[in-house]
Structure 1
Amino acid sequence: KLNKWVSGKDLILHTIGDIGVDGALYMAMEFEGETIASLPMSGRLTMCNMAIEAGGKNGIIVPDEITEHYVKGRAKREYKFYSSDKDATYAEIKEYDCSKIPPTVSCPHLPSNTKPATELSSVTIDQVVVGSCTNGRIEDLREAAGIIKGKKVNPDTRMIVIPATQQIYLQAVKEGLAEIFVEADAVFSTPTCGPCLGGHMGILAKGEKAIATTNRNFVGRMGHPESEVYLSNPAVAAASEVLGRIGTPEEVI
């Protein structure tokens, strides 16, 4: 069973921290087990999204009822589920006790440079980014909104929230999540890659630090080559925004 405030993002960061950014080079990463079976689709998508950060060609999870429920509401043509052969061989098998995985943060300048969020309380931040293709699903926005509701963005920082799709954007508006973010003095954006790749709307200046729910934190990834990016789940990112430094949800709720 996962600890509170631990999600698929923490599982994949923990895995990459273990095997390295080339640990699955040119391979497929398959995730399975009791914890994976209990993960919502949002967490599964986050894990598969970041397989590339371990060098993988793709990330796969055996389809089940959760998968079918997700696909049924979206597929516009017939679909078929595939699973690995029962006698399939693997280059390597890694097993983790997920009950021991804490909220995890990747430090500059590699996704594999991971530490528990509790060990980074001395790191002050200038910007928080919640969203992107990695953690911009409605469940992610709900989690972040639940933490920041009734609070304000730290006066020394800025917060940018980026839904992954127009559909999620609209749902966030209907559920009142956009209002929560705006009332907290955050910027609620339309879907865009934006600051994740150092494109626009949140570019880091020299010496600035950000904590983001995005997928990469290479040198200069979000702006100036002397800026720093830390990667986390939405709950840790939202809590850090309130604190003005890297922290955990328990510190603000």
Structure 2
Amino acid sequence: MAQTIAEKILEAHLIDDKDRVEPGRVVRARVDFVLFNDANGPVAFRHFANMGGGKVAVPEKVGLVCDHFAPAPNAAGARMLGDMRRFAREKGIENFYDVGKGGIEHTLMPELGLVGPGDLVAGGDSHTGTAGAFNAFGTGMSWAGMAAIMVLDETWFRVPESMRFNLHGKKAAHVTGKDVILQILQGIGVDGALYRSMEFAGPGIAEFNIDERMGICNMVVEAGAKTGIVEGDDITRAWAEATCKRPWKIVNADAGAQYYSHHDIDLATMRPMVAKPYSPENVVSIDEIKPGVHVDQVYMGNCANGTISDLRQIASVLKGRKVAKGTRAMIVPATQKIYMQAMAEGLIEQFIEAGAAVSTPTCGACFGGHNGALDDGEVAFATINRNFKGRGGHAGAQVYLGNSYVAAATAVAGEIIDPAKL
């Protein structure tokens, strides 16, 4: 039977070869990698202890990354980070990345070559779908379920139906992968892909480099998807050959594979998109944003939009310009390696000269925990993935979402603006 990408990856990881990989059926599988951060890891560790604790079944499959409460903003955050350190030490977890030694999990793991094409990846964080940029099946799971994987080296999946998004045409200036997923959310809504796999394919996918593909897959969960996977191509292969430390295999759909739905996306007509408060589906074109709305804070970075590509996009707008009076700008490279590369290219100096604050890699401001939380009544523009009430700090704040070009232009103008107008 012809299969989708998600179905083929699941079949390759089956424990019982008698299982049938068909939408709706439950199958048992072994994952290639299990990813925890300091927000979900400590809770999963307690579940692990309640299941008997002991040894982790396959320690080399486990990754622990300190990113949410890193650097520790308070004593409670320090305890979360301490729990990570203790678990790594006691259970012999070599893939442990503390403050200053790694970065944000979804960017860091592929950067280290620990996630690659054809992999099945489980994470305690809902944005584990970011792995789909690398032609992998990544999905968030319950913390108890993650603990069970560490005990048993297996888990179960209900095989998802798949949706096919065919990209074609040449993208315009200032359009990125972020705009692709925002336009899709505008069309299908926050439950339009509920427990389905979103496949991104077609000739237009070659318009986006590996970094920009992360921007697409990072937000599939905002549509309710189980996973999102980019079709493998020469860009995927070149990245994997240069990066992956484990065996990998590009997986693409068979001709004749069955899909829940097909969607056609013309990149040539796409404009930079903006999600208005308070939902990632409340999306409009940059041309529909009412001018004159003052923005107090612009946050540039996150697990998918703190890449070197994003930092270059930001620099292309900020070079020779200043952050507007009354607006503060924060830029967060996603990993230490990206931070150092940006330094070598002179980008960090440009950011500081423009009047922006540059942070060590952290998820702090993304979820409103620290390093840039918003006050009551403030308006922010951010390259993050969610803008629910309270997501960036106070529930009285408003957060707009968009790509790095638009974010940088907004920092300069002090209001949301098309970068082409600067």
Contact 2:298-2:381 at 8 Å conserved across structures = yes
Bigger radius of gyration: 2
Corresponding residue number in structure 1 for 2:248: 79
Task: Tell me how far apart the structure 2 counterparts of residues 38 and 230 of structure 1 sit (CA, whole Å).
Answer: 25
Give the superposition deviation at 1:250: 1.5
Matched, 1:222 2:388: no
| Greater Cα offset, 113-122 or 221-230 | 113-122
| Greater Cα offset, 87-96 or 221-230 | 87-96
Task: Tell me how far apart the structure 2 counterparts of residues 50 and 168 of structure 1 sit (CA, whole Å).
Answer: 21
Q: How does 1:1-253 map to 2 (within 5 A)?
A: 1-120=170-289, 121-252=291-422
Q: Which has the higher contact order (CA 8 A, sep 6+)?
A: 1
Structure with more of its chain in strand, by fraction:
2
Q: May I ask how many residue pairs the two structures share in their alignment?
A: 252
**What TM-score does the superposition give when structure 2 sets the normalisation length?**
0.59
Q: Which runs of 4+ in 1 moved over 2 A?
A: none
Measured on the aligned residues, the alpha-carbon RMSD in Å equals 1.0
Give the superposition deviation at 1:61: 1.1
Task: Tell me how far apart the structure 1 counterparts of residues 238 and 220 of structure 2 sit (CA, whole Å).
Answer: 23
Contact 2:212-2:309 at 8 Å conserved across structures = no
Give the superposition deviation at 1:67: 0.5
For structure 1, the residue ranges without an aligned partner over 5 or more in a row are none
Give the superposition deviation at 1:87: 2.4
For structure 2, the residue ranges without an aligned partner over 5 or more in a row are 1-169
Task: Tell me how far apart the structure 2 counterparts of residues 210 and 216 of structure 1 sit (CA, whole Å).
Answer: 12
Task: Tell me how far apart the structure 2 counterparts of residues 153 and 126 of structure 1 sit (CA, whole Å).
Answer: 11
- State the AA in 2 paired with 1:32: A
| Greater Cα offset, 144-153 or 112-121 | 112-121
Matched residues, percent identical?
Answer: 47
Deviation by residue 1:168-191 (Cα, 9 ceiling, x = unmatched): 111011111000001111011111
Contact 1:50-1:134 at 8 Å conserved across structures = no
Task: Tell me how far apart the structure 2 counterparts of residues 25 and 128 of structure 1 sit (CA, whole Å).
Answer: 31
Match of 1:140, SS?
A: helix
- State the AA in 2 paired with 1:119: E
Give the superposition deviation at 1:222: 0.2
Match of 2:400, SS?
A: strand
